[in-house]
Amino acid sequence: MKLRTIFATGLVLSAFSVTMTTTSAEAATSRQSWLVQQIYNYNHPFAANLPGELATKMTKMATSAFYFYRGTAHLFYQDVKNTAVWPVSWYTNAVTNSVWLEGDMHMQNMGGLRDANDNAVFDTNDFDEGYWGSYTWDLRRMAVAILLAAEENGISSTDRQSLVKNFIDSYASQIAAFKGNDNELSYRLTTSNTNGVVKDTIQAADDKTRSSLLSKYTVVSGNQRYFSAISGSLQPVNSTTLTAINAAMPGYINSIASSKRKSNGYYVLKDAALRLGSGTGSLGRYRYYLLIDGPSTDINDDVILEMKQETDSAVAIAVPGNMPAWTYDYDNSSRVTKSMKAMLNNTDVLVGYTPLNGLSFFLHERSPYQEDFDYTLLTGYTKFNDAVVYMGKIVAKNHALADKDYDAVLIPYSMDKEITDVINGDVSGLKAETLSYALSYTAQVKQDYIDFVNAKNSGAVFY
Protein backbone atom coordinates (compact mmCIF):
# COMPACT_ATOMS: atom_id res chain seq x y z
CA MET A 1 0.00 0.00 0.00
CA LYS A 2 2.87 2.36 0.77
CA LEU A 3 4.15 1.72 -2.76
CA ARG A 4 0.77 2.67 -4.22
CA THR A 5 0.71 5.88 -2.18
CA ILE A 6 4.15 6.86 -3.41
CA PHE A 7 3.12 6.08 -6.98
CA ALA A 8 0.20 8.45 -6.59
CA THR A 9 2.53 11.29 -5.57
CA GLY A 10 4.79 10.68 -8.54
CA LEU A 11 7.91 9.92 -6.48
CA VAL A 12 8.17 6.30 -7.54
CA LEU A 13 7.47 7.30 -11.12
CA SER A 14 10.57 9.47 -10.99
CA ALA A 15 12.62 6.66 -9.52
CA PHE A 16 11.21 4.25 -12.10
CA SER A 17 12.08 6.69 -14.86
CA VAL A 18 15.68 6.86 -13.67
CA THR A 19 15.87 3.06 -13.60
CA MET A 20 14.48 2.75 -17.08
CA THR A 21 16.71 5.51 -18.43
CA THR A 22 19.72 3.52 -17.28
CA THR A 23 18.21 0.37 -18.76
CA SER A 24 17.52 2.17 -22.02
CA ALA A 25 21.22 2.93 -22.46
CA GLU A 26 22.01 -0.71 -21.82
CA ALA A 27 19.20 -1.83 -24.10
CA ALA A 28 20.55 0.16 -27.02
CA THR A 29 23.96 -1.50 -26.74
CA SER A 30 24.78 -3.86 -29.58
CA ARG A 31 24.36 -7.57 -28.85
CA GLN A 32 24.86 -8.91 -32.36
CA SER A 33 26.40 -12.29 -31.56
CA TRP A 34 23.66 -13.13 -29.08
CA LEU A 35 21.04 -11.89 -31.54
CA VAL A 36 22.28 -14.04 -34.42
CA GLN A 37 22.44 -17.09 -32.18
CA GLN A 38 18.89 -16.57 -30.87
CA ILE A 39 17.43 -16.14 -34.36
CA TYR A 40 19.32 -19.23 -35.54
CA ASN A 41 18.16 -21.32 -32.57
CA TYR A 42 14.54 -20.37 -33.16
CA ASN A 43 14.45 -20.89 -36.92
CA HIS A 44 16.87 -23.77 -37.51
CA PRO A 45 14.35 -26.52 -36.58
CA PHE A 46 12.36 -25.58 -39.70
CA ALA A 47 15.31 -25.25 -42.07
CA ALA A 48 15.15 -28.77 -43.49
CA ASN A 49 11.53 -28.36 -44.52
CA LEU A 50 11.04 -24.93 -46.06
CA PRO A 51 14.37 -23.10 -46.37
CA GLY A 52 12.95 -20.84 -49.07
CA GLU A 53 10.27 -19.62 -46.66
CA LEU A 54 12.91 -18.85 -44.05
CA ALA A 55 14.85 -16.85 -46.64
CA THR A 56 11.64 -14.91 -47.33
CA LYS A 57 11.23 -14.35 -43.59
CA MET A 58 14.72 -12.86 -43.26
CA THR A 59 14.11 -10.61 -46.26
CA LYS A 60 10.85 -9.36 -44.74
CA MET A 61 12.50 -8.78 -41.37
CA ALA A 62 15.18 -6.67 -43.05
CA THR A 63 12.65 -4.24 -44.56
CA SER A 64 12.02 -2.23 -41.35
CA ALA A 65 12.34 -2.30 -37.57
CA PHE A 66 8.61 -2.95 -37.35
CA TYR A 67 8.82 -6.05 -39.57
CA PHE A 68 11.88 -7.21 -37.66
CA TYR A 69 9.81 -6.91 -34.47
CA ARG A 70 6.96 -8.86 -36.06
CA GLY A 71 9.30 -11.71 -36.88
CA THR A 72 11.01 -11.97 -33.50
CA ALA A 73 8.42 -12.44 -30.74
CA HIS A 74 10.84 -15.02 -29.34
CA LEU A 75 13.40 -12.26 -28.69
CA PHE A 76 10.79 -10.21 -26.84
CA TYR A 77 10.07 -13.07 -24.46
CA GLN A 78 13.74 -13.90 -24.00
CA ASP A 79 14.05 -10.33 -22.76
CA VAL A 80 10.88 -10.53 -20.66
CA LYS A 81 12.53 -13.43 -18.85
CA ASN A 82 15.54 -11.22 -18.07
CA THR A 83 13.91 -9.25 -15.25
CA ALA A 84 17.23 -7.83 -14.08
CA VAL A 85 17.23 -5.67 -17.20
CA TRP A 86 13.54 -5.56 -18.12
CA PRO A 87 11.58 -4.99 -14.88
CA VAL A 88 8.32 -6.73 -14.08
CA SER A 89 5.24 -4.57 -13.67
CA TRP A 90 4.10 -3.10 -10.36
CA TYR A 91 0.54 -3.60 -11.60
CA THR A 92 0.20 -7.34 -11.46
CA ASN A 93 -0.10 -10.22 -9.02
CA ALA A 94 -0.29 -14.03 -9.04
CA VAL A 95 -3.73 -14.11 -10.69
CA THR A 96 -3.04 -11.47 -13.33
CA ASN A 97 0.25 -13.16 -14.16
CA SER A 98 -1.85 -15.98 -15.65
CA VAL A 99 -4.14 -14.09 -18.00
CA TRP A 100 -4.81 -15.76 -21.35
CA LEU A 101 -2.74 -13.68 -23.77
CA GLU A 102 -2.82 -13.28 -27.52
CA GLY A 103 0.93 -13.28 -27.05
CA ASP A 104 2.09 -11.44 -30.18
CA MET A 105 0.25 -8.16 -30.04
CA HIS A 106 0.86 -5.77 -32.93
CA MET A 107 -1.41 -3.88 -35.29
CA GLN A 108 -1.36 -6.46 -38.06
CA ASN A 109 -2.64 -9.21 -35.82
CA MET A 110 -5.98 -7.42 -35.87
CA GLY A 111 -8.27 -6.81 -38.80
CA GLY A 112 -11.72 -6.83 -40.30
CA LEU A 113 -13.71 -10.06 -40.43
CA ARG A 114 -17.15 -11.62 -40.24
CA ASP A 115 -17.84 -13.71 -37.18
CA ALA A 116 -19.85 -16.94 -37.17
CA ASN A 117 -23.07 -14.93 -36.83
CA ASP A 118 -22.19 -12.85 -39.91
CA ASN A 119 -21.42 -9.72 -37.91
CA ALA A 120 -18.78 -7.60 -39.64
CA VAL A 121 -16.33 -6.73 -36.88
CA PHE A 122 -12.82 -5.56 -36.06
CA ASP A 123 -10.98 -8.09 -33.91
CA THR A 124 -7.88 -10.15 -33.24
CA ASN A 125 -7.00 -12.60 -36.01
CA ASP A 126 -3.87 -14.49 -34.94
CA PHE A 127 -3.52 -16.80 -31.93
CA ASP A 128 -0.33 -18.77 -32.66
CA GLU A 129 1.32 -17.51 -29.47
CA GLY A 130 -1.76 -17.79 -27.24
CA TYR A 131 -0.61 -18.65 -23.71
CA TRP A 132 -0.94 -17.62 -20.06
CA GLY A 133 1.18 -14.77 -18.74
CA SER A 134 1.03 -11.27 -17.32
CA TYR A 135 -1.64 -9.16 -18.97
CA THR A 136 0.95 -6.38 -19.11
CA TRP A 137 2.93 -8.35 -21.72
CA ASP A 138 0.18 -7.92 -24.31
CA LEU A 139 0.10 -4.21 -23.43
CA ARG A 140 3.86 -3.78 -23.58
CA ARG A 141 4.25 -5.69 -26.84
CA MET A 142 1.54 -3.60 -28.49
CA ALA A 143 3.00 -0.39 -27.06
CA VAL A 144 6.35 -1.11 -28.70
CA ALA A 145 4.59 -1.91 -31.99
CA ILE A 146 2.75 1.42 -31.79
CA LEU A 147 6.00 3.34 -31.28
CA LEU A 148 7.75 1.56 -34.15
CA ALA A 149 4.87 1.90 -36.63
CA ALA A 150 4.14 5.50 -35.68
CA GLU A 151 7.78 6.49 -36.15
CA GLU A 152 7.78 4.77 -39.54
CA ASN A 153 4.68 6.78 -40.44
CA GLY A 154 6.35 10.07 -39.52
CA ILE A 155 4.46 10.72 -36.27
CA SER A 156 6.39 13.00 -33.89
CA SER A 157 8.03 11.67 -30.73
CA THR A 158 5.61 13.53 -28.47
CA ASP A 159 2.60 12.24 -30.37
CA ARG A 160 3.99 8.69 -30.39
CA GLN A 161 4.15 8.77 -26.62
CA SER A 162 0.59 10.09 -26.46
CA LEU A 163 -0.55 7.19 -28.63
CA VAL A 164 0.85 4.67 -26.17
CA LYS A 165 -0.73 6.43 -23.20
CA ASN A 166 -4.08 6.60 -24.98
CA PHE A 167 -3.88 2.90 -25.86
CA ILE A 168 -3.38 2.08 -22.17
CA ASP A 169 -6.16 4.50 -21.18
CA SER A 170 -8.52 2.77 -23.57
CA TYR A 171 -7.57 -0.69 -22.31
CA ALA A 172 -7.92 0.22 -18.64
CA SER A 173 -11.23 2.00 -19.19
CA GLN A 174 -12.70 -0.91 -21.15
CA ILE A 175 -11.49 -3.65 -18.79
CA ALA A 176 -13.02 -1.68 -15.90
CA ALA A 177 -16.28 -1.32 -17.84
CA PHE A 178 -16.54 -5.11 -18.01
CA LYS A 179 -16.14 -5.56 -14.25
CA GLY A 180 -19.32 -6.73 -12.53
CA ASN A 181 -21.27 -7.59 -15.68
CA ASP A 182 -21.19 -9.90 -18.69
CA ASN A 183 -20.95 -7.24 -21.38
CA GLU A 184 -17.77 -8.76 -22.78
CA LEU A 185 -19.86 -11.69 -24.00
CA SER A 186 -21.55 -9.51 -26.61
CA TYR A 187 -18.99 -6.74 -27.08
CA ARG A 188 -17.87 -6.04 -30.62
CA LEU A 189 -16.56 -3.22 -32.78
CA THR A 190 -18.59 -2.67 -35.94
CA THR A 191 -19.05 0.08 -38.51
CA SER A 192 -21.70 1.57 -36.20
CA ASN A 193 -19.32 2.29 -33.30
CA THR A 194 -15.99 2.95 -35.08
CA ASN A 195 -14.56 5.46 -37.50
CA GLY A 196 -11.44 6.11 -39.52
CA VAL A 197 -9.20 3.32 -40.80
CA VAL A 198 -10.71 0.74 -38.42
CA LYS A 199 -14.20 1.39 -39.79
CA ASP A 200 -12.87 1.26 -43.34
CA THR A 201 -11.19 -2.07 -42.59
CA ILE A 202 -14.44 -3.57 -41.29
CA GLN A 203 -16.32 -2.30 -44.34
CA ALA A 204 -13.71 -3.64 -46.73
CA ALA A 205 -14.02 -7.10 -45.16
CA ASP A 206 -17.81 -7.00 -45.33
CA ASP A 207 -17.77 -5.97 -49.00
CA LYS A 208 -15.83 -9.05 -50.09
CA THR A 209 -17.39 -12.11 -51.69
CA ARG A 210 -16.77 -15.84 -51.72
CA SER A 211 -16.60 -15.82 -55.51
CA SER A 212 -13.73 -13.31 -55.40
CA LEU A 213 -11.71 -15.45 -53.00
CA LEU A 214 -12.30 -18.57 -55.07
CA SER A 215 -11.33 -16.72 -58.24
CA LYS A 216 -8.12 -15.52 -56.59
CA TYR A 217 -6.88 -18.94 -55.58
CA THR A 218 -8.67 -21.52 -57.73
CA VAL A 219 -9.57 -22.47 -61.31
CA VAL A 220 -12.41 -24.56 -62.72
CA SER A 221 -11.74 -27.38 -65.15
CA GLY A 222 -14.20 -30.05 -66.22
CA ASN A 223 -16.76 -28.75 -63.74
CA GLN A 224 -14.28 -29.31 -60.91
CA ARG A 225 -12.48 -26.64 -58.90
CA TYR A 226 -8.76 -26.86 -58.19
CA PHE A 227 -6.13 -24.61 -56.66
CA SER A 228 -4.19 -22.43 -59.07
CA ALA A 229 -0.41 -22.52 -59.18
CA ILE A 230 0.67 -19.00 -58.17
CA SER A 231 4.40 -18.34 -58.13
CA GLY A 232 5.63 -17.45 -54.66
CA SER A 233 2.15 -17.79 -53.20
CA LEU A 234 0.44 -21.11 -53.91
CA GLN A 235 2.01 -24.42 -54.90
CA PRO A 236 -0.16 -27.49 -55.56
CA VAL A 237 0.86 -30.49 -53.43
CA ASN A 238 1.85 -33.90 -54.75
CA SER A 239 -0.39 -36.94 -54.48
CA THR A 240 1.42 -38.28 -51.40
CA THR A 241 0.81 -35.08 -49.44
CA LEU A 242 -2.78 -34.88 -50.65
CA THR A 243 -3.38 -38.45 -49.46
CA ALA A 244 -1.83 -37.67 -46.07
CA ILE A 245 -3.98 -34.56 -45.63
CA ASN A 246 -7.07 -36.52 -46.59
CA ALA A 247 -6.19 -39.14 -43.97
CA ALA A 248 -5.85 -36.36 -41.37
CA MET A 249 -9.33 -34.93 -42.03
CA PRO A 250 -11.27 -37.29 -39.68
CA GLY A 251 -9.05 -36.14 -36.80
CA TYR A 252 -9.84 -32.54 -37.65
CA ILE A 253 -13.58 -33.21 -37.87
CA ASN A 254 -13.55 -34.98 -34.51
CA SER A 255 -11.82 -31.99 -32.91
CA ILE A 256 -14.86 -29.83 -33.67
CA ALA A 257 -17.57 -29.82 -31.00
CA SER A 258 -20.51 -31.98 -32.08
CA SER A 259 -22.82 -28.98 -31.73
CA LYS A 260 -20.76 -27.07 -34.32
CA ARG A 261 -20.02 -29.98 -36.64
CA LYS A 262 -21.34 -30.01 -40.20
CA SER A 263 -22.35 -33.11 -42.11
CA ASN A 264 -19.43 -35.25 -43.26
CA GLY A 265 -20.03 -34.22 -46.86
CA TYR A 266 -19.17 -30.61 -45.97
CA TYR A 267 -15.57 -31.57 -45.22
CA VAL A 268 -14.88 -33.66 -48.34
CA LEU A 269 -11.37 -32.72 -49.51
CA LYS A 270 -11.17 -31.70 -53.16
CA ASP A 271 -7.67 -30.28 -53.42
CA ALA A 272 -4.78 -28.88 -51.37
CA ALA A 273 -1.91 -26.47 -51.95
CA LEU A 274 1.12 -25.24 -50.05
CA ARG A 275 0.70 -21.56 -49.10
CA LEU A 276 3.91 -19.59 -49.45
CA GLY A 277 5.05 -16.15 -48.30
CA SER A 278 2.20 -15.52 -45.86
CA GLY A 279 2.83 -13.75 -42.56
CA THR A 280 6.21 -13.03 -41.02
CA GLY A 281 6.91 -14.74 -37.70
CA SER A 282 5.44 -18.07 -38.80
CA LEU A 283 7.31 -18.28 -42.10
CA GLY A 284 9.18 -21.55 -42.25
CA ARG A 285 6.33 -23.63 -40.88
CA TYR A 286 4.05 -25.57 -43.19
CA ARG A 287 0.88 -23.78 -44.18
CA TYR A 288 -1.64 -25.38 -46.54
CA TYR A 289 -4.85 -24.26 -48.15
CA LEU A 290 -7.48 -27.00 -48.36
CA LEU A 291 -10.43 -26.87 -50.74
CA ILE A 292 -13.47 -28.64 -49.30
CA ASP A 293 -16.95 -29.21 -50.69
CA GLY A 294 -18.81 -26.87 -48.34
CA PRO A 295 -22.59 -26.76 -47.90
CA SER A 296 -23.45 -28.34 -51.26
CA THR A 297 -21.91 -30.02 -54.29
CA ASP A 298 -22.14 -26.73 -56.20
CA ILE A 299 -18.56 -25.69 -56.96
CA ASN A 300 -19.43 -22.04 -56.30
CA ASP A 301 -19.88 -22.54 -52.56
CA ASP A 302 -16.64 -24.44 -52.00
CA VAL A 303 -14.80 -23.48 -48.81
CA ILE A 304 -11.09 -22.86 -48.31
CA LEU A 305 -9.51 -23.95 -45.03
CA GLU A 306 -6.12 -22.79 -43.82
CA MET A 307 -4.06 -25.58 -42.21
CA LYS A 308 -1.10 -24.19 -40.26
CA GLN A 309 1.72 -25.96 -38.43
CA GLU A 310 1.95 -24.97 -34.76
CA THR A 311 4.83 -25.13 -32.30
CA ASP A 312 5.44 -23.98 -28.73
CA SER A 313 4.24 -20.49 -27.88
CA ALA A 314 6.96 -17.84 -27.70
CA VAL A 315 5.39 -16.68 -24.42
CA ALA A 316 6.45 -19.99 -22.87
CA ILE A 317 10.07 -18.89 -23.26
CA ALA A 318 9.47 -16.41 -20.43
CA VAL A 319 7.25 -18.63 -18.27
CA PRO A 320 7.64 -22.30 -19.25
CA GLY A 321 4.79 -24.40 -17.92
CA ASN A 322 2.72 -21.40 -16.81
CA MET A 323 -0.02 -22.78 -19.05
CA PRO A 324 0.19 -26.47 -18.12
CA ALA A 325 0.29 -28.74 -21.16
CA TRP A 326 -2.68 -30.75 -19.91
CA THR A 327 -4.88 -27.68 -20.39
CA TYR A 328 -4.35 -27.97 -24.15
CA ASP A 329 -4.15 -31.76 -24.40
CA TYR A 330 -0.35 -31.65 -24.86
CA ASP A 331 -0.95 -30.42 -28.42
CA ASN A 332 0.04 -26.94 -29.61
CA SER A 333 -2.65 -26.86 -32.29
CA SER A 334 -5.20 -27.49 -29.53
CA ARG A 335 -3.64 -24.61 -27.59
CA VAL A 336 -4.12 -22.28 -30.56
CA THR A 337 -7.68 -23.55 -31.13
CA LYS A 338 -8.60 -22.96 -27.49
CA SER A 339 -6.93 -19.54 -27.49
CA MET A 340 -9.00 -18.44 -30.46
CA LYS A 341 -12.23 -19.74 -28.92
CA ALA A 342 -11.39 -18.13 -25.58
CA MET A 343 -10.76 -14.64 -26.97
CA LEU A 344 -13.37 -14.30 -29.71
CA ASN A 345 -17.14 -14.00 -29.66
CA ASN A 346 -18.94 -16.20 -32.22
CA THR A 347 -15.78 -18.04 -33.25
CA ASP A 348 -15.44 -19.63 -36.69
CA VAL A 349 -17.25 -22.98 -36.50
CA LEU A 350 -14.59 -24.58 -38.71
CA VAL A 351 -11.83 -24.10 -36.13
CA GLY A 352 -10.12 -27.36 -35.22
CA TYR A 353 -6.86 -29.26 -35.23
CA THR A 354 -5.25 -32.52 -36.31
CA PRO A 355 -1.84 -34.19 -36.60
CA LEU A 356 -0.22 -34.58 -40.01
CA ASN A 357 3.02 -36.49 -40.59
CA GLY A 358 3.86 -36.24 -36.90
CA LEU A 359 3.35 -32.46 -36.79
CA SER A 360 0.59 -30.44 -35.15
CA PHE A 361 -1.80 -28.41 -37.34
CA PHE A 362 -4.44 -25.80 -36.58
CA LEU A 363 -7.30 -25.38 -39.08
CA HIS A 364 -9.83 -22.63 -39.65
CA GLU A 365 -11.67 -21.14 -42.57
CA ARG A 366 -9.70 -18.88 -44.88
CA SER A 367 -12.70 -16.62 -44.83
CA PRO A 368 -13.68 -14.60 -47.90
CA TYR A 369 -14.70 -11.86 -45.48
CA GLN A 370 -11.48 -10.71 -43.91
CA GLU A 371 -9.29 -7.67 -44.39
CA ASP A 372 -5.81 -7.18 -42.97
CA PHE A 373 -5.22 -3.95 -41.09
CA ASP A 374 -2.84 -1.62 -42.94
CA TYR A 375 -0.98 0.51 -40.40
CA THR A 376 0.66 2.55 -43.19
CA LEU A 377 -2.74 4.25 -43.69
CA LEU A 378 -2.41 5.86 -40.24
CA THR A 379 -0.76 8.89 -41.77
CA GLY A 380 -1.49 11.41 -39.02
CA TYR A 381 -1.89 11.52 -35.28
CA THR A 382 -5.70 11.61 -35.33
CA LYS A 383 -6.01 8.55 -37.58
CA PHE A 384 -3.42 6.67 -35.55
CA ASN A 385 -5.01 7.63 -32.26
CA ASP A 386 -8.46 6.47 -33.35
CA ALA A 387 -6.98 3.10 -34.22
CA VAL A 388 -5.02 2.53 -31.00
CA VAL A 389 -8.04 3.45 -28.89
CA TYR A 390 -10.06 0.73 -30.63
CA MET A 391 -7.18 -1.70 -30.27
CA GLY A 392 -7.03 -1.05 -26.54
CA LYS A 393 -10.70 -1.98 -26.31
CA ILE A 394 -10.12 -5.22 -28.22
CA VAL A 395 -7.21 -6.30 -26.03
CA ALA A 396 -9.41 -5.64 -22.98
CA LYS A 397 -12.19 -7.71 -24.53
CA ASN A 398 -9.76 -10.57 -25.19
CA HIS A 399 -8.59 -10.64 -21.59
CA ALA A 400 -12.11 -10.29 -20.18
CA LEU A 401 -13.53 -13.11 -22.30
CA ALA A 402 -10.69 -15.59 -21.85
CA ASP A 403 -11.43 -16.39 -18.21
CA LYS A 404 -14.22 -18.21 -16.41
CA ASP A 405 -16.53 -17.00 -19.19
CA TYR A 406 -14.76 -19.48 -21.46
CA ASP A 407 -13.79 -22.28 -19.08
CA ALA A 408 -14.02 -21.93 -15.30
CA VAL A 409 -12.00 -25.13 -14.82
CA LEU A 410 -9.03 -23.62 -16.66
CA ILE A 411 -9.33 -20.07 -15.30
CA PRO A 412 -11.71 -19.77 -12.31
CA TYR A 413 -11.48 -15.97 -12.16
CA SER A 414 -13.13 -12.93 -13.65
CA MET A 415 -10.07 -11.32 -15.21
CA ASP A 416 -11.80 -8.00 -15.85
CA LYS A 417 -12.32 -7.74 -12.08
CA GLU A 418 -8.84 -9.00 -11.19
CA ILE A 419 -7.05 -6.68 -13.62
CA THR A 420 -9.14 -3.66 -12.66
CA ASP A 421 -8.52 -4.35 -8.98
CA VAL A 422 -4.76 -4.74 -9.39
CA ILE A 423 -4.57 -1.44 -11.31
CA ASN A 424 -6.48 -0.03 -8.33
CA GLY A 425 -7.38 3.26 -9.99
CA ASP A 426 -3.78 4.17 -10.79
CA VAL A 427 -4.12 4.21 -14.57
CA SER A 428 -1.66 7.12 -14.78
CA GLY A 429 0.97 4.94 -13.11
CA LEU A 430 0.30 2.04 -15.49
CA LYS A 431 0.56 4.44 -18.44
CA ALA A 432 3.87 5.86 -17.21
CA GLU A 433 5.29 2.41 -16.52
CA THR A 434 4.21 0.99 -19.89
CA LEU A 435 5.46 4.00 -21.82
CA SER A 436 8.84 3.97 -20.10
CA TYR A 437 9.24 0.25 -20.79
CA ALA A 438 8.11 0.67 -24.40
CA LEU A 439 10.50 3.56 -25.08
CA SER A 440 13.38 1.58 -23.66
CA TYR A 441 12.48 -1.60 -25.50
CA THR A 442 11.90 0.24 -28.78
CA ALA A 443 15.49 1.49 -28.55
CA GLN A 444 16.54 -2.15 -28.13
CA VAL A 445 14.52 -3.28 -31.15
CA LYS A 446 15.98 -0.55 -33.34
CA GLN A 447 19.51 -1.49 -32.32
CA ASP A 448 18.75 -5.18 -32.84
CA TYR A 449 17.38 -4.37 -36.27
CA ILE A 450 20.59 -2.55 -37.23
CA ASP A 451 22.64 -5.48 -35.96
CA PHE A 452 20.43 -7.95 -37.82
CA VAL A 453 20.74 -6.12 -41.14
CA ASN A 454 24.51 -5.76 -40.73
CA ALA A 455 24.84 -9.45 -39.87
CA LYS A 456 22.63 -10.42 -42.80
CA ASN A 457 24.68 -8.32 -45.19
CA SER A 458 27.81 -9.98 -43.81
CA GLY A 459 26.46 -13.44 -44.58
CA ALA A 460 25.43 -14.55 -41.08
CA VAL A 461 23.56 -17.84 -40.91
CA PHE A 462 20.11 -17.36 -39.36
CA TYR A 463 18.66 -20.82 -39.93
Nearest residue to 361 via CA among 304, 293, 311: 311
The kind and range of the H/E element at 29 are none
pLDDT value at residue 120: 97
pLDDT value at residue 270: 98
235: which DSSP letter? E
pLDDT value at residue 29: 87
- CB 146, CB 441: distance < 8 Å: no
The C-alpha atoms of residue 394 and residue 174 are separated, in whole angstroms, by 9
pLDDT value at residue 136: 98
Query: What pLDDT tens digit does each residue of the chain (463 aa) get?
Result: 333 322 232 323 333 333 343 334 345 889 999 999 999 999 999 999 999 999 999 999 999 999 999 999 999 999 999 999 999 999 999 999 999 999 999 999 999 999 999 999 999 999 999 999 999 999 999 999 999 999 999 999 999 999 999 999 999 999 999 999 999 999 999 999 999 999 999 999 999 999 999 999 999 999 999 999 999 999 999 999 999 999 999 999 999 999 999 999 999 999 999 999 999 999 999 999 999 999 999 999 999 999 999 999 999 999 999 999 999 999 999 999 999 999 999 999 999 999 999 999 999 999 999 999 999 999 999 999 999 999 999 999 999 999 999 999 999 999 999 999 999 999 999 999 999 999 999 999 999 999 999 999 999 999 9
- The phi, psi pair for 323, rounded to 5°, reads -105, 100
By CB atoms closer than 10 A (0-12, 13-18, 19+), residue 314 is: buried
Kindly give, in sequence order, each residue whose CB lies less than 8 Å from that of residue 27, ignoring residues fewer than 6 positions away: 85, 440, 441, 443, 444, 447
pTM of the model: 0.93
- CB 65, CB 152: distance < 8 Å: yes
The C-alpha atoms of residue 155 and residue 181 are separated, in whole angstroms, by 38
Task: Give Cα 346 to chain centroid, integer Å.
Answer: 18
Nearest residue to 144 via CA among 76, 211, 53, 198: 76
Nearest residue to 360 via CA among 323, 326, 333, 327: 333
- The phi, psi pair for 370, rounded to 5°, reads -140, 150
- The phi, psi pair for 74, rounded to 5°, reads -65, -35
- CB 114, CB 120: distance < 8 Å: yes
Q: What are all long-range contacts of 239-244, with beta carbons under 8 Å and residues at least 24 apart?
A: 241/272, 242/269, 242/271, 242/272, 244/356, 244/357
